[in-house]
């Protein structure tokens, strides 16, 4: 596999927007990790959790309340270089092959969220999946760089 | 394919550990000799032994040039040992040669595990060592050595056969009647000894013995429960030039014939066994004991919830106690003396003084204080920067110092102390101190003033030098001018959960003080709740608890900040609901905690308290950024028994930020 690129995308369905994470960046999908609040975190941070003895930040893919429509209590643990974080999800994720999906052009013109940077957009079974540019996203997530 | 073959690769780990220790010992001996301006007999023997061991083990590893270099130095110190016994006022070149060899060995050791390692050339050092040895042994410009007035004489055989201590007394030359002087000495110690004999034996009557004693000294064998006192009496005897312990032999050893020569003190004979353990194994053990502690707290919490008190107070309590003991033992195993960083500080001081042509001595007030290995590693790096900074910016040139009425040689004082659970280290110099005008000018250029300059305190202005890239040196030297240094120290201290303080006086010098926890692994903490949030503070900073309901009348507002009257002082009053914008209000049953850090004190209002516990402080997620601690006063997290995460607060920053925010608010008000 080419370093930093994966043919397999883990898709996370949402109410208004679907996201995708390249599979090589997914460390684990966990259920029922307890989220604790920490002061001074921006709104997109849900808090922190204890993942195998390490405290990792938990970041919302959608705005608060938006993803609560799902009935699953799961967390995707992702890693980009030294950074690790958890992403809570309410619906079961699934994997698609990039090669078997339609790649949408002109990604740059797509309006990005404040935090989540988009790398690619794929269309599969009529649904769009915004593949996250994890490197840029992690840069956006740093709260106090200095 | 690396330099070492499979056989030697297997031995590399042991070689690195052993040679690393020897290199450290070598530095220690060199610094101590340079300080005393003398290689004592013990120092010479130590260098000889170090070189001898390095020679053998390096040859075994196939490091032939290093082995050969060590061999030449072994010869040099073998020569000193046999011919001179000790070296007074050794040539600076000898120190330079040995330090260069020490640097070479340390450099090689640090690279040996790299895949592309190949031994560095020793040609220059080998040539230097050989030339020096040739010159010294040929008697050309021999360094002034303390040639003993008598030839080396071994302990007479008959004295070695019996138990006791054998000392050799040398009298001042020309004192005459040496046999009578010896006889008088023996009389002085007779009452202190259970057994006593001399060589020559017949001191009082045999005049021939005077000649022998004049040439070789008198040997006295004695047995005494007050050995040190006996030696002291002998040393202070009339015309005694030297009193040296030559032989020690217990009754058992005398019986078995296994006594050894030497000058070891009684206590040193019972040294405990030591075992070298790889640091990463200790780190792992520490992490495991920390995880055990966390899991045990979770189990304890669960048993409490389910009402299983019998199990909780029986077996679980015992396991809990054992886990605490394991954790405590691991912590003790990781403790190392802070003094171990002294040789590297001396080394950097020596190098920078040589390069900047300044003179400075390092005065060590270190005691036998110990701290966790990782803490000592952290501060070692920070202290190197501080020493560099002290010489480069603080200490003036010898000429400038003389002109200013100071001694030519500057002083750098390294002091280590500890309070409850905290290490306090200072590096003070008697140099020129910080130049506030230069700092202000540079701060102006960099736009660091955020309010009128005249309202900045001296300490705030001095703190500008901790900004990344800040330098007042126009010229870039090897040691400064790039603006890299003190910000690194600050960063290191932050990573270790510590603080850095500056105190400078123009013309008189500057003191940098760092405080850091003695161990980073676990900490005794006071934990509490505010709304849905859990917090902890180091228990060593917590001194009093007050009822909020009873104390409300003592809370006053001034300049947008709240203060509370406590023990006749108005202290900052931090309601964490307000400080951290946490929903809700503190109930009347809330608790006020009086905290005092190294520099700041205040009272913190919380909703309710949890039990005080020894907890594992985990690092904040990297995504929070390196500035998170400074901006928020939050410096870590811990996992509670119920699985929730507790936010660890930094007392100093929390109160500092609160006071600073108050100052900003006052400014805004004035502007309006």
The confidence band for B424, taking pLDDT boundaries of 50, 70 and 90, is confident
CB-based contact B507:B404 (threshold 8 Å): yes
- Is the CA virtual torsion B457, B459, B465, B466 positive or negative? negative
B532 touches chain A (CB under 8 A): yes
Residue A67 has pLDDT above 60, yes or no: no
Reported as a single tens digit per residue, the pLDDT across B307-357 is 999 999 999 999 988 998 898 888 888 888 888 888 888 888 988 898 888
Residue B161 tokens, joined = 């056969």
Q: Cα–Cα distance between B518 and B374 in angstroms, integer?
A: 10
CA dihedral B578, B582, B585, B587 (to 10 degrees): -110
Which residue is listed with tokens 């999906």? A101
The boundaries of the domain holding residue A120 are 8-141
Q: Has the ipTM of the complex gone over 0.85?
A: yes
Nearest to A40 among B618, B634, B643 (CB): B634
Residue B385 has pLDDT above 70, yes or no: yes
3-state secondary structure of A114: coil
Mean pLDDT over B94-123 rounds to: 88
Exposure b/e, B578-588, CB count within 10 A at least 16 = b? ebbebeeebee
Tell me what pLDDT residue B548 has.
94
Reported as a single tens digit per residue, the pLDDT across B521-551 is 778 899 999 999 999 999 989 999 999 999 9
Q: Which residues contact B153 (CB under 8 A, 6 or more apart)?
A: B168, B216, B217
Mutate to test the interface with B, among A54, A115, A144 (most CBs of B within 10 A): A144
Tell me what pLDDT residue B141 has.
45
Q: Which residue of A has its CA nearest to B629?
A: A144
Q: Does residue A136 fall inside a structural domain?
A: yes
Tell me what pLDDT residue B340 has.
84
Q: Which residues contact B180 (CB under 8 A, 6 or more apart)?
A: B203, B204, B210
Tell me what pLDDT residue B144 has.
43
Is B576 buried (19+), middle (13-18) or exposed (0-12) by CB count in 10 A? buried
Element (H or E) spanning B310, and its range?
helix B309-313
* Most confident listed range (A16-20, B196-200, B369-373, B620-624): B620-624
Sheet with A118-124, strands from edge to edge, namely: A94-97, A8-12, A19-22, A127-132, A118-124, A102-104
B534 and B658 part of one domain: yes
3-state secondary structure of B471: coil
Nearest to B627 among A38, A82, A144 (CB): A144
φ/ψ of B116, rounded to 5, equals -95, 25
- Are the Cβ atoms of B468 and A83 closer than 8 angstroms? no
Q: Does residue A1 fall inside a structural domain?
A: no
- Are the Cβ atoms of A50 and B645 closer than 8 angstroms? yes
- Are the Cβ atoms of A145 and B637 closer than 8 angstroms? no
According to DSSP, the β-strands at B360-365 and B410-419 are parallel
Reported as a single tens digit per residue, the pLDDT across A41-57 is 999 999 999 998 889 99
- Are the Cβ atoms of B644 and A48 closer than 8 angstroms? no
* A-B C-beta contacts closer than 8 Å: 80
3-state secondary structure of A106: coil
CA dihedral B289, B290, B291, B294 (to 10 degrees): 120
Tell me what pLDDT residue A106 has.
65
DSSP A56-69: EEEE-SS-TTGGGG
3-state secondary structure of B658: helix
Q: Which residues contact B618 (CB under 8 A, 6 or more apart)?
A: A53, A54, A55, B636, B637, B638, B639
Q: How far is CA B388 from CA B345, B356, B376, B384, B592, in A?
A: 9, 11, 18, 6, 44
Query: Which residues of chain B make contact with A53, given a CB cutoff of 8 A?
Result: 287, 291, 294, 618
Give pairs for A55-58: CB < 8 Å, separation 24+: A55/B618, A55/B619, A55/B620, A55/B621, A55/B637, A55/B639, A55/B645, A56/A84, A56/A85, A56/A86, A56/B621, A57/A85, A57/A86, A57/A141, A57/B621, A57/B623, A57/B624, A58/A33, A58/A85, A58/A86, A58/A87, A58/A88
Nearest to B624 among A82, A144, A146 (CB): A144
DSSP B38-89: EE-HHHHHHHHHHHHHHHHHHHHTT-HHHHHHHHHHHHHHHHHHHHTSSEES
φ/ψ of B541, rounded to 5, equals -95, -5
Tell me what pLDDT residue B61 has.
84
Residue B177 has pLDDT above 50, yes or no: yes
Query: Which residues of chain B make contact with A38, given a CB cutoff of 8 A?
Result: 533, 634, 637, 645, 647
CATH code: domain of residue A45: 2.40.50.180
Q: Cα–Cα distance between B406 and B343 in angstroms, integer?
A: 27
Residue B373 has pLDDT above 80, yes or no: yes
DSSP A19-30: EEEEGGGEEEEE
Tell me what pLDDT residue B606 has.
96
Mean pLDDT over B350-365 rounds to: 89
Determine if the peptide bond prior to B110 is cis (ω within 30°). Answer: no
Mean pLDDT over B15-25 rounds to: 84
The confidence band for B252, taking pLDDT boundaries of 50, 70 and 90, is low
Q: Does residue B272 fall inside a structural domain?
A: no
- The percent helix, strand, coil of chain B (3-state, each to 5) is 50, 20, 30
B129 and B171 part of one domain: no
Q: How far is CA B648 from CA B519, B534, B640, in A?
A: 15, 9, 12
pLDDT > 90: what percent of chain B? 22
Domains contained in chain B, number = 5
B538 and B643 part of one domain: yes
Reported as a single tens digit per residue, the pLDDT across B62-100 is 888 898 899 889 889 888 887 878 888 888 888 889 988
- Are the Cβ atoms of B624 and A56 closer than 8 angstroms? no
B288 and B219 part of one domain: no
CATH code: domain of residue B559: 2.40.50.180
Tell me what pLDDT residue B251 has.
64
DSSP B222-257: EE-TTHHHHHHHHHTSTTEEEEEEEEEE-HHHHHHT
Q: Does residue B274 fall inside a structural domain?
A: no
CB-based contact B576:B655 (threshold 8 Å): no
A98 touches chain B (CB under 8 A): no
* Most confident listed range (B170-179, B297-306, B568-577): B568-577
Please tell me which residue, A123 or B418, carries the higher pLDDT value: A123
The confidence band for B140, taking pLDDT boundaries of 50, 70 and 90, is very low
B543 and B563 part of one domain: yes
Residue B166 has pLDDT above 80, yes or no: yes
B240 and B318 part of one domain: no
Tell me what pLDDT residue A110 has.
61
Question: What rounded mean pLDDT belongs to chain B?
Answer: 83
pTM: 0.63
Nearest to A145 among B287, B626, B645 (CB): B626
B133 and B34 part of one domain: yes
Tell me what pLDDT residue B603 has.
96
Residue B534: name the closest of B467, B469, B623, B611 by CA: B611
A36 touches chain B (CB under 8 A): yes
B498 and B391 part of one domain: yes
The confidence band for B160, taking pLDDT boundaries of 50, 70 and 90, is confident
Helices B123-137 and B92-111: crossing angle in degrees, nearest 10, is 150
Q: HSE on the CB side for B641, CA within 13 Å?
A: 17
Tell me what pLDDT residue B38 has.
86
A106 touches chain B (CB under 8 A): no
Exposure b/e, B537-572, CB count within 10 A at least 16 = b? bbbbbbeeebebeebeebbeeeeebbbbebeeeebb
Q: Which residues contact B212 (CB under 8 A, 6 or more apart)?
A: B200
The confidence band for A64, taking pLDDT boundaries of 50, 70 and 90, is low
B226 and B354 part of one domain: no
CATH code: domain of residue B92: 1.20.120.160
Query: Which residues of chain B make contact with A54, given a CB cutoff of 8 A?
Result: 618
Q: Cα–Cα distance between B216 and B218 in angstroms, integer?
A: 7
Tell me what pLDDT residue B621 has.
92
DSSP B539-579: GGGEEEEEEHHHHGGGEEEETTEEEEEETTEEEEEEEHHHH
Tell me what pLDDT residue B413 has.
94
Q: Does residue B543 fall inside a structural domain?
A: yes
Query: Which residues of chain A make contact with B618, given a CB cutoff of 8 A?
Result: 53-55
Reported as a single tens digit per residue, the pLDDT across B473-528 is 655 555 554 444 688 888 888 778 788 888 888 888 999 998 888 877 778 899 99
Q: Does residue A3 fall inside a structural domain?
A: no
Q: Does residue B41 fall inside a structural domain?
A: yes
- Is the CA virtual torsion B454, B456, B457, B461 positive or negative? negative
Among B471, B492, B517, residue at a domain's last position:
B517
- Is the CA virtual torsion B644, B650, B653, B656 positive or negative? positive
Residue B495: name the closest of B520, B512, B518 by CA: B520
Q: Which residues contact B76 (CB under 8 A, 6 or more apart)?
A: B129, B132, B133, B136
Tell me what pLDDT residue B255 has.
61
Reported as a single tens digit per residue, the pLDDT across A68-116 is 556 668 899 999 988 999 999 988 899 998 888 888 876 665 666 778 8
The boundaries of the domain holding residue B329 are 280-333
Mutate to test the interface with B, among A78, A143, A145 (most CBs of B within 10 A): A143
Tell me what pLDDT residue B459 has.
78
- Are the Cβ atoms of A143 and B628 closer than 8 angstroms? yes
Tell me what pLDDT residue B263 has.
45
Residue A24 has pLDDT above 60, yes or no: yes
- Are the Cβ atoms of A37 and B624 closer than 8 angstroms? no
Tell me what pLDDT residue A137 has.
92
Reported as a single tens digit per residue, the pLDDT across B188-223 is 888 888 888 888 887 777 767 777 888 888 889 888
The residues that bridge with B260 in the sheet, in sequence order, are B248
Domains contained in chain A, number = 1
B469 and B566 part of one domain: no
Residue A146 has pLDDT above 50, yes or no: yes
B39 and B127 part of one domain: yes
B620 and B654 part of one domain: yes
- The dihedral region occupied by A2, where left means phi > 0, alpha psi between -120 and 50, and beta the remainder, is beta
Q: Does residue A146 fall inside a structural domain?
A: no
According to DSSP, the β-strands at B533-538 and B561-566 are unpaired
Tell me what pLDDT residue B113 has.
84
């Amino acid at each position: 596999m080419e370093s930093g690129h994966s043919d397999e995308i883990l898709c996370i369905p949402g109410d208004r927007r679907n996201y995708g994470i390249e599979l090589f960046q997914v460390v684990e999908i966990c259920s029922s990790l307890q989220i604790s609040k920490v002061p001074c975190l921006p709104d997109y941070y849900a808090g922190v959790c204890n993942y195998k003895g390490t405290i990792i930040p938990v970041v919302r893919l959608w705005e608060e309340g938006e993803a609560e429509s799902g009935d699953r209590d799961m967390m995707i643990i992702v890693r980009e270089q030294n950074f690790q974080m958890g992403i809570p999800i309410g619906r079961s994720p699934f994997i698609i092959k990039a090669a078997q999906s339609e790649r949408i052009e002109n990604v740059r013109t797509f309006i990005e969220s404040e935090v989540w940077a988009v790398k690619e957009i794929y269309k599969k079974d009529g649904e769009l999946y915004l593949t996250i540019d994890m490197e840029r996203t992690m840069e956006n997530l740093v709260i106090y760089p200095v | 394919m690396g330099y070492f073959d499979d056989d030697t690769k297997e031995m590399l780990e042991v070689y690195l550990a052993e040679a690393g220790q020897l290199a450290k010992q070598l530095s220690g001996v060199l610094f101590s000799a340079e300080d005393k301006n003398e290689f004592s007999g013990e120092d010479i023997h130590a260098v000889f032994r170090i070189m001898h061991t390095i020679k053998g083990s390096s040859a075994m590893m196939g490091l032939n040039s290093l082995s050969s270099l060590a061999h030449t130095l072994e010869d040099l110190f073998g020569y000193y040992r046999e011919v001179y016994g000790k070296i007074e006022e050794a040539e600076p070149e000898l120190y330079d040669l040995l330090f260069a060899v020490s640097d070479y060995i340390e450099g090689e050791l640090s690279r040996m595990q790299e895949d592309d390692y190949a031994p560095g050339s020793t040609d220059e050092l080998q040539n230097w060592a050989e030339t020096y040895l040739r010159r010294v042994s040929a008697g050309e410009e021999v360094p002034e050595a303390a040639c003993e007035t008598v030839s080396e004489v071994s302990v007479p055989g008959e004295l070695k056969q019996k138990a006791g201590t054998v000392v050799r007394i040398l009298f001042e030359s020309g004192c005459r009647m040496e046999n009578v002087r010896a006889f008088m000495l023996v009389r002085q110690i007779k009452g202190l000894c259970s057994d006593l004999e001399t060589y020559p034996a017949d001191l009082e009557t045999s005049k021939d013995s005077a000649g022998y004693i004049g040439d070789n000294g008198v040997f006295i064998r004695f047995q005494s429960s007050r050995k040190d006192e006996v030696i002291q009496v002998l040393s202070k005897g009339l015309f005694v030039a030297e009193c040296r312990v030559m032989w020690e032999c217990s009754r058992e050893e005398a019986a078995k014939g296994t006594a050894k020569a030497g000058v070891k003190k009684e206590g040193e004979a019972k040294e405990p066994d030591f075992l070298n353990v790889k640091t990463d194994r200790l780190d792992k053990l520490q992490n495991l004991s920390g995880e055990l502690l966390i899991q045990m707290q979770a189990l304890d919490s669960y048993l409490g919830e389910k009402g299983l008190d019998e199990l909780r107070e029986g077996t679980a309590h015992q396991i809990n106690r054992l886990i605490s003991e394991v954790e405590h033992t691991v912590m003790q195993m990781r403790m190392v003396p802070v003094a171990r960083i002294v040789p590297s500080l001396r080394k950097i001081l020596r190098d920078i003084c040589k390069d900047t042509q300044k003179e400075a001595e390092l005065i060590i007030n270190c005691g036998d204080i110990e701290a966790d290995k990782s803490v000592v590693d952290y501060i070692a790096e920070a202290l190197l920067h501080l020493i560099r900074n002290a010489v480069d910016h603080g200490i003036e040139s010898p000429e400038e110092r003389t002109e200013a009425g100071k001694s030519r040689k500057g002083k750098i004082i390294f002091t280590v102390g500890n309070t409850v659970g905290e290490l306090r280290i200072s590096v003070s110099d008697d140099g020129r101190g910080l130049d506030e005008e230069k700092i202000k000018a540079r701060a102006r250029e960099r736009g660091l003033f955020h309010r009128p300059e005249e309202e900045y305190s001296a300490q705030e202005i001095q703190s500008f030098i901790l900004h990344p890239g800040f330098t007042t040196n126009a010229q870039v030297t090897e040691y400064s001018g790039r603006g890299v240094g003190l910000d690194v120290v600050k960063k290191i201290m932050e990573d270790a959960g510590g603080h850095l303080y500056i105190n400078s006086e123009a013309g008189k010098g500057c003191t940098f003080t760092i405080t850091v926890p003695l161990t980073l692994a676990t900490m005794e903490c006071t934990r509490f709740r505010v709304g849905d949030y859990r917090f902890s503070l180091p228990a060593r900073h917590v001194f009093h608890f007050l009822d909020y309901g009873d104390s409300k009348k003592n809370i006053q507002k001034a300049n947008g900040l709240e203060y509370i009257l406590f023990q006749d002082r108005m202290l900052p009053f931090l309601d964490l609901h307000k400080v951290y914008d946490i929903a809700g209000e503190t109930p009347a049953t809330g608790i006020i905690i009086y905290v005092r850090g190294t520099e700041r004190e205040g009272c913190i209002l919380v909703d309710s308290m949890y039990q005080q516990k020894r907890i594992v402080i985990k690092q904040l997620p990297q995504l929070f950024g390196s500035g998170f601690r400074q901006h928020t006063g939050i410096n870590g997290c811990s996992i509670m028994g119920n699985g929730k995460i507790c936010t660890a607060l930094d007392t100093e920053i929390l109160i500092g930020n609160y006071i600073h925010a108050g100052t900003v608010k006052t400014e805004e008000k004035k502007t309006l």
